[in-house]
Amino acid sequence: MKTTKSSRHVGLIVLIMLSLVTAIIPTGAGAQGMQTCEDFGSPDIAQTILEVDPSLAEFLDPDGNGIACDHENDSTEDRAGNPKDDRRDEPTGDGDDYFADIEVEVDSVIATFNRYAEIDATFSDASEAEQQDMIVEIEEIAAFWSVYPDAAAEYEAPAGFEDVDGAYLDFAEAVGDTGNAWLIWWNTPAGDRNADVAFNDFVDAYDLAWDEADIVLSMVRDEAGGASDPKDIPTGEGDAYIVDIQGELDLLTEQVDRFLEISGLGADASDDDVDELNRIAAEWADYPEVASAYAAPDDFEVIEDAYLDLADSIGDAGELWEAYWAIPAANDEEEAVALDAFEDAFNDAQNHVDEVQELLDDAGGSDGPTDEPADDPSGDADAYLAAVSEHADGLNRDLMFFEAPTEEELDRYFTDFSEAPEVAASLDVPAGYEEIQDAYVLFTEQVALIPGLYDEWVEAGQSESLDDPALSTLLLAFTEATNLYETLAAIIEEFESGAASDTDVPTASDDPYLAYVRETVDSLNAELDTFLEMMMPTNPSDPGEMEQILTNWLATPNAIMDLDVPADHADIQEAFEDYTVELANAAQYYVEWREAGEGDGRAPAFNNLMDSFEDAQEHYAALDSMLTEAGA
């Protein structure tokens, strides 16, 4: 979960440190050695740096009049290309126009944030000449940020819009602080003990500016009527009330599922994903107001009370997420506390969803996606799928939220994990659903291993080094459990879509290409399962067998390139090639990890290996689905 938050600027932190510090300025953390107006590229940049660091007046303002570089007669230089000049028309002061102006302003600043991140991410691959151009552009962007509060002050909000105006000025101040912090860091010598402090100040300011941007845009769009109400006005009649609340419950359930889906992406989440995550949380924070608009008719007070309790808990979850998100990324301890509080509220909201759904069902409401499965499926296919999905989704949610748990949470997690195989074994499996049950049992058995492995890690001293066998074994167990969950989810999805129906599945007995692909991918996937098991230090391993598997993975991509592929199976061949290439990547990463020894490269190699294994499992699940649909 924490990774998702930092994905917005993880490239910023890592690549700035690696690219800007080492590649741009081998001997300094900032603009050490840049001492004349020509060095700074433009008088605007020089003026901003002079204001931030007056000690450079000797070089930038020798005449002492407070204006940088006017002694070199370059103050009349055409500055039309500077980002801060001629950016917009004058504000109108009218409400709708004011909102439009502010939204354009914030979006324009966000564009510079994105451009900064783009430069940062591509800097190390650029030529030397391109790098110099990038440096100048970054300096101009930082100078633009530094003076932005002055530009924002030109906007006068109409009466009644003071809240938006205050939020916009807070945003502008945060942008200015970001620019000043960057320029201070840029001008700090590499050996200076304050260099790290300056850099951290910049990252914190950058984070805060993003947060303030989200706040302003949310307020502008809400005030301007851009946000749509998710419901019609409730009627207050009994049946209509139940329908309305069921609709709200379904909406919340969809949002929860989407929230978990994005959270599960971790560092792979895009900026759009992160924005969506925060929009969902913002809607949750305001949800108690939405719920209060529904007036329950007589005799529906129990449902109303349960629904309002749900609204309060989902509102708490939204507010706690926003509080967590606002914490500077460097403050790990405070983040952990905030994340724990959010998870508690989130789990409480889930419980209230179930409670409200049960009350609606008893009152004759429509069946929604949050319906409780029957206690005893008794062979009924729909009830069986619902029971498996609910249990597996709950376990996977616990896996995702398993970070610095409290003792109470740890007890609950481990109880659920340990009892999971018994729950799976207690279900009646309908005929034809054995494949789901097999995948379900494998997943629960893997989850049940985690409590014991966690205890072994604690007893071994809770080392955070990936060289520690206890930790690496625990991480592998989590990774394998996640992979098995994804496999199970893919199989369930196939069954729910009808792809696994005996009457719908075509036969591939006369298609040698499909038969070959199916046999090969199943064999490769079995090898992957075997390899992962042998990697765990607690399991016996056969070095010879592992080498044979690695050799096979490396050779397979070339071996399948010359297949005679039927025209209607081109998509399967493409997916087949992607899967084998990912396994070959995993083989290479494993060799790198094994050969890294105790050096600094061991941890990155291990992370690459785990990511590659996970990607391979995803490729297999997609390919398996395609083959099943084709009848293989």
Which of 202, 223, 244 marks a domain boundary?
223
Q: How long is the chain?
A: 632
Same domain, 217 and 244: no
Q: Is residue 241 part of a domain?
A: yes
Q: Is residue 228 part of a domain?
A: no
Same domain, 161 and 206: yes
Domain count, the chain: 4
Q: Is-contact 341 327, C-beta < 8 A? A: no
Tell me how far apart the alpha carbons of residues 176 and 112 are, in angstroms, rounded to a whole number: 13
Q: Is-contact 401 264, C-beta < 8 A? A: no
pLDDT at 310: 92
Same domain, 513 and 631: yes
Q: Is residue 95 part of a domain?
A: yes
Tell me how far apart the alpha carbons of residues 493 and 487 are, in angstroms, rounded to a whole number: 10
Q: Is residue 611 part of a domain?
A: yes
Encode pLDDT of 411-428 as tens digits: 888 888 999 999 998 888
Q: Name the residue range of residue 413's domain.
A: 373-503
Same domain, 178 and 32: yes
Which of 488, 503, 518 marks a domain boundary?
503
Tell me how far apart the alpha carbons of residues 511 and 251 are, in angstroms, rounded to a whole number: 44
76's tokens: 């009349």
Same domain, 240 and 315: yes
Q: Is residue 229 part of a domain?
A: no
Encode pLDDT of 501-544 as tens digits: 443 434 444 578 888 888 888 889 888 888 887 776 656 667 77
Same domain, 315 and 274: yes
Q: Is residue 230 part of a domain?
A: no
* Range of lowest pLDDT (118-132, 363-377, 383-397, 580-594): 363-377
- Integer-rounded Cα radius of gyration of the chain: 29
Kindly state the helix (H) or strand (E) to which residue 608 belongs, with its residue range: helix 602-630
**What's the average model confidence in pLDDT over 329-343?**
78
Encode pLDDT of 261-295 as tens digits: 887 777 777 888 888 888 899 889 989 988 888 88
Q: Please report, for residues 527, 540, 612, the alpha-carbon distance to residue 616 in angstroms, rounded to integers and kept in the order given.
A: 12, 23, 6
Q: Please report, for residues 168, 179, 239, the alpha-carbon distance to residue 155 in angstroms, rounded to integers and kept in the order given.
A: 10, 20, 50
% of the chain at pLDDT higher than 90: 7
Classify residue 163 as exposed, middle or buried by CB count within 10 Å of its CB (0-12, 13-18, 19+). exposed
Same domain, 421 and 558: no
Same domain, 367 and 389: no
Same domain, 50 and 183: yes
pLDDT at 160: 78
Reported as a pLDDT band with limits 50, 70 and 90, residue 20 is very low
Reported as a pLDDT band with limits 50, 70 and 90, residue 605 is confident
Same domain, 362 and 382: no
Same domain, 162 and 285: no
Give the domain CATH number at 257.
Answer: 1.20.120
Encode pLDDT of 227-262 as tens digits: 333 333 333 355 778 888 888 888 888 888 888 888
Which of 477, 503, 529 marks a domain boundary?
503
Same domain, 354 and 383: no
pLDDT at 401: 65
Give the domain CATH number at 449.
Answer: 1.20.1420
**The pLDDT of residue 297 is above 70:** yes
Q: Is residue 260 part of a domain?
A: yes
Mean per-residue pLDDT over the chain, rounded? 75
405's tokens: 């748990």
On whether the pTM is more than 0.75, the answer is no
Q: Is residue 412 part of a domain?
A: yes
